[in-house]
Amino acid sequence: MNEKIKQAANIIKQGGLVAFPTETVYGLGADATNEEACSKIFKIKGRPSINPLIVHIASIAQAESISIFNEDAYKLLTFWSGPLSIVLPLNKNANIAKSVLAGLDTIALRLPAHPIALQLLKEAGCPIAAPSANPSGYISATTTEHVQQHFANQDVFILSDNSSCQYGLESTIIDLTTPAPTILRYGFITPDSIESIIGKKVSTAPPLMTIKAPGMMDKHYSPQTPLRLNATDLEQGEIGLGFGEGQFRPMLNLSSIGNIVEAAANLYLMLRQLDDYASSNQISRIAVAPIPNSGIGLAINDRLKRAASL
Ligand code: TXA
Ligand code: MG
């Protein structure tokens, strides 16, 4: 693995693209200071240029050199390394590629916990801009196989140990540039846990709005097959995605024991499996059982809402 990571780091340094695992989802990375390299990410994903990228860093010192830290940011370091992205004012001398910022004067930073991601960042020596490794708008990739399906024929080096991503949902995004800290995207780091660390209330961005972080708003994370949410029965032409016991008989179950962590880890994988099945079996819709809307359930329901949005 070490040799492969070195090879991947060299590709990043030379302006190439590398797909790599993180504890949330796979990322599609490039040197965040190289404009040409970063613009390739937008091209290959079909990503709108108005949607900024998260920049991954290997250390707090590196984060401090790219952004302007404040008191809340220092408190939130308790969640690093891990599934939290922090939006801070950009340090204008940081030399971050223009396309990464999409015109904003803020930057989203994340210090990932996955050992391969961390080692890649250290070897490359530069910050790595990396959105999720999927075509824009489609379900994020949580396995090597899915990354290969999307990018094997492209000029992308796939770095992988063939394991699945531990959490299976993208990082929580907290914006510390707003008057009150604002959750821009729900994830494993919950609003409650953030509030308990910074000692103040956070606001949450209203669902499906169209400002600030366009990729997190409106339609996203979507299978080809339409979804029907909070389903308690199966209608004609539907297959079911269950949670816990007691609803209809689902084709797949996010967690038959009703465990929300397990459900999050299975969500994208099972949506992809059902989407594939539906398209080859004339299934018109995926019915999804209700998921409790608290804690990590907030993140699951948020993704489902966007996935179901037309
Ligand atoms: O878990 C994750 O965060 C994964 C892994 C690879 O680290 N990355 C990921 O990236 O989910 P992506 O591009 O799929 O989602 C990043 C989101 C976008 O919706 C973007 O709008 C938002 O972060 N974003 C990036 N920079 C921002 C900024 N300065 N202010 C507000 N939102 C920002
Ligand atoms: Mg994404």
pLDDT tens-digit map of 170-204: 999 999 999 899 999 999 999 999 999 999 999 98
Residue 29 and residue 27: Cα distance in Å, rounded?
6
Q: What is the Cα–Cα distance from 276 to 106, expressed in whole angstroms?
A: 38
pLDDT level of residue 8 (50, 70, 90 thresholds): very high
Peptide bond connecting 279 to the previous residue in cis, omega within 30 degrees of 0 = no
Closest ligand 1 atom to residue 217 Cα is 19
Terminal alpha carbon distance of the chain:
42
pLDDT, residue 279, reads 93
Look up tokens 């899915």; give the residue.
Answer: 146
Extract the tokens encoding 192. 């409650």
CA 72 to ligand 1 center in whole angstroms: 20
Mean pLDDT, residues 135-155 taken together: 93
Cβ pair 240, 234 in contact under 8 A? yes
Q: Which residues contact 267 (CB under 8 A, 6 or more apart)?
A: 168, 169, 254, 300, 303, 304
- Which ligand is closest in space to the CA of residue 137? 2
- Of 224, 299, 245, the C-alpha closest to 267 is 299
Is the Cβ atom of 110 under 6 angstroms away from ligand 1? yes
pLDDT value, residue 147: 96
CB 100 within 8 A of CB 55: yes
Ligand 2 center to residue 248 CA distance, Å?
A: 31
Question: Tokens representing 226?
Answer: 């339409």
Residue 209 pLDDT grade (very low, low, confident, very high; cuts 50, 70, 90) = very low
% the chain with pLDDT above 70: 95
With a cut of 60, say whether residue 211 has pLDDT above it: no
All residues at 6 or more sequence positions from 288 whose CB lies less than 8 Å from its CB, including other chains: 227, 228, 229, 230, 231, 240, 241, 243, 304
List the shell of residues around ion ligand 2, using CB closer than 5 Å.
Answer: 132
Report CA torsion sign: 23, 24, 30, 31: negative
Query: Cβ distance 168 to 140 under 8 Å?
Result: no
Minimum-distance ligand to the CA of 136? 2
Average pLDDT over residues 269-292: 96
Residue 247 has pLDDT above 90, yes or no: no
Report the pLDDT averaged over residues 63-82: 98
The pLDDT value recorded for residue 222 is: 84
Report residue 216's pLDDT band, with 50, 70 and 90 as the boundaries.
low
Q: Say if pTM beats, i.e. exceeds, 0.75.
A: yes
Cα(80)–Cα(194) distance, rounded to whole angstroms?
12
User: 81-95, 213-227, 287-301: which has the minimum mean pLDDT?
Assistant: 213-227
